[in-house]
Structures are given as structure tokens and as C-alpha cells.
């Protein structure tokens, strides 16, 4: 429960304005939607959703999401990348919906996945998300075979 008058990490990131926010705070994600706040763990799927919310209406290739988030796609073909990204995004939206049904519904209807993914909110009710992204994925160095 939030203490009255206390600012959450999300509020502090935007000076206390009540807006739509998807903020990475170093440990996880603070999400604000229609005045409700939820805190979620950092996952590759959350990073994908944040990337899409940060560029509404713009297509992002599944291969770009794989590279940016470190998703393992078992072979790296375009179809496997599409399937891996779709699986992560759907699981993430389901986890969000378990915490906030309205936000889960919004994301389920506004995010399209495939070889390219896009966040397309209803143009009649535009949402201006404040998004801060997680730091880049650090992958372990590859072993060189000799």
C-alpha cells in the first residue's frame, strides 16, 4: 500500500505527473496505467513491450527485439525469432493482466506480433507513454573454437 503523499519511483521519474509510464528502476519495472501502479520483474518480455511502447505505430523487426533483449531463438531463423518474441510478449501481457486487467486488455489489443511487431493504440484514445528502458543485455563472451 502506498503512503499518501509519497512518490513512487514512477512518480519521481516524471515529477509526479499522473500519466502512462513504463519505467525501469534498476530492479524491475514500475508501470502506471489509468492511475493504478504495478511493479513487475525485469524479463526479456518486459523489455520487448517497453521497446514497442516507446515507439508507437512503428514496426520493430522480431530479429531486432531478439538482439536487443537477448532472447534465445534456438537457431536464429526468422520464423524461430518470430515465435520466440511472440511467446515472450504474450507471456508478459498475461503476467501484466494478472496484476492489472485493464492494462493487460489494452496491451493485448494494441500490440501485434509477427516478423515485425508494433504497438498501435486506438487513435481515438491516444496514449503518450513515458518509457525508460533497461540497460543493454550483457552476453557472456563466445568461446572461440580452435
| Total domains present in the chain | 1
Structural domain contains residue 137: no
- Assign residue 128 the CATH number of its domain: 1.10.10.10
- With 90 as the cut, is the pLDDT of residue 144 above it? no
Structural domain contains residue 1: no
Structural domain contains residue 6: no
Structural domain contains residue 141: no
Q: Which three cell numbers stand for residue 54?
A: 516507446
Structural domain contains residue 145: no
- Beta-strand runs (E) in the chain: 20-24, 28-33, 36-41, 60-61, 111-112, 116-119, 129-132
% of the chain surpassing 90 pLDDT:
58
Query: Can you tell me the distance from the alpha carbon of 124 to that of 139, in angstroms, rounded to the nearest whole number?
Result: 41
Per-residue pLDDT of 81-101, as tens digits, reads 999 999 999 999 999 999 999
% of the chain surpassing 70 pLDDT:
76
In the structure, what pLDDT confidence band is assigned to residue 78 with cuts at 50, 70 and 90? confident
User: What residue numbers bound the domain in which 121 lies?
Assistant: 12-132
Amino acid at each position: 500500500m502506498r503512503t499518501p503523499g509519497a512518490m513512487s519511483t514512477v512518480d519521481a521519474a516524471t515529477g509526479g505527473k499522473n500519466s502512462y509510464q513504463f519505467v525501469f528502476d534498476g530492479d524491475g519495472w514500475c508501470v502506471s496505467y489509468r492511475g493504478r501502479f504495478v511493479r513487475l520483474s525485469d524479463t526479456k518480455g518486459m523489455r520487448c513491450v517497453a521497446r514497442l511502447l516507446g515507439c508507437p505505430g512503428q514496426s520493430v523487426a522480431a530479429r531486432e527485439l531478439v538482439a536487443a533483449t537477448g532472447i534465445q531463438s534456438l537457431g536464429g531463423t526468422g520464423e524461430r525469432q518470430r515465435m520466440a518474441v511472440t511467446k515472450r510478449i504474450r507471456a508478459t501481457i498475461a503476467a501484466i493482466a494478472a496484476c492489472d486487467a485493464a492494462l493487460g486488455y489494452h496491451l493485448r489489443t494494441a500490440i501485434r506480433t509477427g516478423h515485425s511487431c508494433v504497438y498501435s493504440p486506438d487513435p481515438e484514445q491516444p496514449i503518450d507513454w513515458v518509457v525508460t528502458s533497461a540497460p543493454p543485455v550483457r552476453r557472456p563472451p563466445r568461446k572461440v573454437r580452435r
